[in-house]
Structure 1
Amino acid sequence: MFFFDPLYLVFALPGLLLGLWAQMRVKGTFSKYSKVRLSRDASGAQIARYLLDQQGLQDVRIEEVQGFLSDHYDPRTRILRLSPDVYRTPSVAAAGVAAHEMGHALQHSVGYAPLQIRSAIVPAVQFGSSLAPILFIIGFLLNFTTLAWIGVILFGVAVLFSLITLPVEFDASKRAKALLTSSGILHPEEVKGVDKVLDAAALTYVAAAVAAVGQLLYYVLLLSGGRSRD
């Protein structure tokens, strides 16, 4: 049966290994720079508030949210949510994560196209991600090719989301680094630490995109006759 096909590992393994490595780097780098206290003794929440106000985004609220690295910006409510380790801690790691999420708020305010596209396809991704594998498996096993291709197309939307996420995240980090440097809120050595934290975090998005593309290619290979159903 196709879901036991060893060939699947050829497509899935690169994303899996890259994802494991990325997670190790993120945890290790964040842990390391969480112990490096900022010279200005400003928490992640304070840094985010300062940068938001500096960019005229006083209407964006900052809230604390539970979880480890659960930080995110919600464009629907214009709320920047920071995890406790970021919200409360005056560390290099917290500064980097907070500034990165602030970068998303800035993207939203200026109408950054990739962010708008990603936000627009979120409902389709949420719907398709759960339904796509079911449709593909049923269609493939019952030799109902049209249904299987519908599953592939729905999964393709999720892959598109992963790919669009890359420029969104890279740009947010770029904005964060630039603002932290130009504002003078951090010393140059502290900005170098932020670079390492954000570069490590970026790997997780690359890994997710590689894994999604690999799975999509495997589905397409099966349906295009490149692999037997036996």
Structure 2
Amino acid sequence: MFPFFYDPTFILIIPAVIFAMYAQGKVQSAFNKYSQHKAGIGWTGAQLAMDILQKQRLSDVKVELVGGHMTDHYDPRNKVLRLSYKIYHGTSLAALGIAAHEVGHALQHDEGYSMLSLRNMIVPFASIGSQAAFPLLFIGLMLGSQSLAQLGVVVFMFAVVFQLITLPVEFNASSRAMNILADGGYITVNEERPVKKVLDAAALTYVAATVMAILQLVRLMLISGLLGRRSD
């Protein structure tokens, strides 16, 4: 068993931590840069979202202001699209891109997009897995119960599956956003590239989260003995 004060498997997640920091810096840099680029249409993110929803006949979806920075999200249970202050009131290319991305999730929900439905189904299990995995692993190692430690690893797998399913959901929402913005005449041809950079940078954070989850799973499998043998 690895002593608790010395865990050589921690080195496995160092690349993921570095990648996550890079991705976070990338999205912040892109957001800050293109928040300074005002969109030619002159609309706010909220106006854009409401217009698209109306044209897509999603009048039952509300658009609300939410606190925090980059806390934008679509709530499928209440059919509410929540935008942070800089997106809700912003008229920049960054604001329009992110608002359109969240509308993309509303469209996925309305159409019954299979990957979104699957992600919504696994949310409770992923939440339990991410919260219970480490306590189970720790208690199992403390008590010398390999089965309990390995149970912690198994429940953590739900969190990993959630991250894997999230990737196509987010990429699809961004693809929908670009098509809507370009085909709907909301942005010009010259504005497409900046908007795409913002969405691509945001997508990179989900890739980083997935890499982190996978490497963390490998690490926990090594610690618990599910993968290879550990020295006493």
Smaller-chain TM-score range?
over 0.9
Q: 1:27: which partner in 2?
A: 28
Q: Is the 8 A contact 1:14 1:210 kept in 2?
A: no
Corresponding letter in the other structure for 2:6: F
Over residues 4-36 of structure 1, what are the superposed CA-to-partner deviations in whole Å (9 max), with x where a residue is unaligned? 323321x20121111000010111100000000
1:162 shift after superposition: 0.6
Structure 2 vs 1, CA of residues 28 and 138 (structure 1 numbering), >3 Å: closer, same or farther? Answer: same
Task: Write out aligned runs for 1:76-91 (5 A).
Answer: 76-91=77-92
Corresponding letter in the other structure for 2:46: A
Q: Is the 8 A contact 2:222 2:230 kept in 1?
A: no
What fraction of aligned residue pairs are identical, expressed as a percent? 47
Structure 1: gaps (5+ residues): none
Q: Is the 8 A contact 1:37 1:91 kept in 2?
A: yes
Secondary structure, aligned partner of 2:58: coil
Q: 2:63: which partner in 1?
A: 62
Over residues 170-216 of structure 1, what are the superposed CA-to-partner deviations in whole Å (9 max), with x where a residue is unaligned? 00000000111110111111121110000000010000000000010
| Partner Cα distance (2:57, 2:5) in 1 | 52
| Partner Cα distance (1:87, 1:50) in 2 | 13
Structure 2: gaps (5+ residues): none
Q: 1:150: which partner in 2?
A: 151
| Partner Cα distance (1:228, 1:221) in 2 | 7
Secondary structure, aligned partner of 1:119: helix
TM-score by length of 2: 0.95
1:139 shift after superposition: 1.0
The 10-residue stretch of structure 1 (135-144 or 179-188) with the greater mean CA deviation from structure 2: 135-144
| Partner Cα distance (1:57, 1:33) in 2 | 28
| Partner Cα distance (1:156, 1:213) in 2 | 9
Structure 2 vs 1, CA of residues 90 and 3 (structure 1 numbering), >3 Å: closer, same or farther? Answer: farther
Secondary structure, aligned partner of 2:37: coil
Corresponding letter in the other structure for 2:102: E
1:225 shift after superposition: 6.1
Q: Is the 8 A contact 2:166 2:206 kept in 1?
A: yes
Q: Does 1:136 align with 2:132?
A: no
Structure 2 vs 1, CA of residues 83 and 3 (structure 1 numbering), >3 Å: closer, same or farther? Answer: farther
1:107 shift after superposition: 0.3
Corresponding letter in the other structure for 1:80: L
Q: 2:10: which partner in 1?
A: 8
1:229 shift after superposition: 5.5
TM-score by length of 1: 0.96
Q: Does 1:168 align with 2:158?
A: no
1:2 shift after superposition: 5.0
Give the alignment partner of residue 228 of structure 2, picking from 218, 226, 229: 226
Q: Is the 8 A contact 1:63 1:82 kept in 2?
A: yes
Output the aligned Cα RMSD.
1.3
